[in-house]
Chain A
């Protein structure tokens, strides 16, 4: 089954404690993205990747890092999380431009 998986699905952490949210897709897609979704602000793109070792900033990259060492994985790293990063995070992937983008189930992060 074609899918995008994220782990963990729920996470409560404290300010400053580094964390990683994993994302993996089994569709051999080149393009992957991370989004955050907040009430009243909608989905906003954090980072995206066009292929292995090729990443670029989206609209809200501050406080986040990503890496793309393998085609299937695109982890999101918060080096020093802060409460304003409390949000619902989605990973997405697609095989190219003008095609369907598949979203993961989401990771609900709370930073205390």
Chain B
């Protein structure tokens, strides 16, 4: 069955540094991948979407890469701030998983230390 793994349950970094979060998947050929931010007790908020034929996407301080050969996506937050502290989720959809069936990873909790 398809499986998504996100690196470590928690990641602590110093303010101003670049945070890099990993999303690996197996038994899956997604059409695209999404990243979300989730704060405690709240619904996920969409951040970025990247398609299988795209290598990289950027939005302000955020950057996502997608390597379908390695079956991996990297999510970068540059010049991190304490306000970036949250849980970040990756989600895959499409192709072998079927459209509309969205599979989420369990998330990585990021703590940015002032």
- Residue of chain A at shortest CB distance from B34: A101
Known: A4-B43, A42-B89, A101-B34; 7 extra A-B contacts, CB below 8 A, are A56-B100, A58-B101, A102-B46, A103-B45, A105-B43, A106-B42, A106-B43
Q: How far is the CA of A99 from the CA of B32 in the complex (A)?
A: 10
Interface residues of B (CB under 8 A from A): 32, 34, 41-46, 49, 51, 89, 91, 93-94, 99-107
Q: Which 7 A-B pairs have the closest CB atoms?
A: A103-B43, A42-B106, A43-B104, A100-B46, A48-B100, A103-B44, A42-B104
Interface residues of A (CB under 8 A from B): 4, 31, 33, 35, 40-45, 48, 50, 56, 58-59, 90, 92, 97-106
Q: How far is the CA of A76 from the CA of B88 in the complex (A)?
A: 26
- Residue of chain A at shortest CB distance from B9: A40
How distant is A42 from chain B, measured CB to nearest CB, in Å?
4
Q: How far is the CA of A35 from the CA of B101 in the complex (A)?
A: 11
